[in-house]
Amino acid sequence: MKNLIKLLLICFVSVPYGGNNDIYLTQSGGGAFVLTIDQIGNTNKVGTSGARSTFAGASITADIKQQGNSNTLANSIAQAASSSWTMYQIGDSNTSTITAGGSGSVGSSDFDYNATGNSNILTWLQGSSSAATGGNFDAAITGNSNDLNIRSEVIGAVNNWDIDGNSNDIDVTQIGTDDKAITFTLVGDSNNIDIDQTTAASGVTDTISLVAASTSGTINIDQCSSGC
């Protein structure tokens, strides 16, 4: 209870309304944690690439929404299983840098990222420095000239993406020692897609299901045991 009260006070003080708002949170604890952030305006920040907001707990439920242009979302998430994250960015030239499971499992956790706008940048790193297991990541992107860089190093990763727009650049890497799956729906022209799935273990099934409605662009898919 002490951790919950302290965190609510920090959030209340640090979440102003309007433009040019900055939020830097460091949260830790062993219990359940609920976070809701709404930022409306331009140049809002929830952490930066140099000073990310960090979260750790047995179960985290987070809902973060930024509406406007040139917003920044930079989070480091280390938690046990059964967490739920929903992140929205509505506007242009927004930047998101998210590391999940860098020092803990993401098993049975669900991450949803939704972006509407142009020239948005998403960098998603999942399980990069831990023996993370499971974890579902869904992304829905609507707009043009968006840049997605997604790397998942978890056992049994499941990724679902819906992209609707033109001239988007999407790079995806999945690494793990268990079955992995990517389900991808793409609508738009002149998109560049690069997907790598790497598994050194035997008996592992990697699956990519891609439905594309596009008149131009490139799609590169590599499935290999190492060095994709």
Q: Confidence band (pLDDT; 50, 70, 90) for 140? A: very high
Tell me if residue 30 falls in helix, strand or coil: coil
66/39 Cα distance (integer angstroms): 5
DSSP state of 217: E
pLDDT at site 105:
62
114/132 Cα distance (integer angstroms): 23
The yes-or-no verdict on residue 139 having pLDDT over 80 is: yes
The yes-or-no verdict on residue 220 having pLDDT over 90 is: yes
Helical residues (DSSP H) of the chain, grouped into ranges = 2-14
The yes-or-no verdict on residue 1 having pLDDT over 50 is: no
**Radius of gyration of the chain measured on its C-alpha atoms:** 18
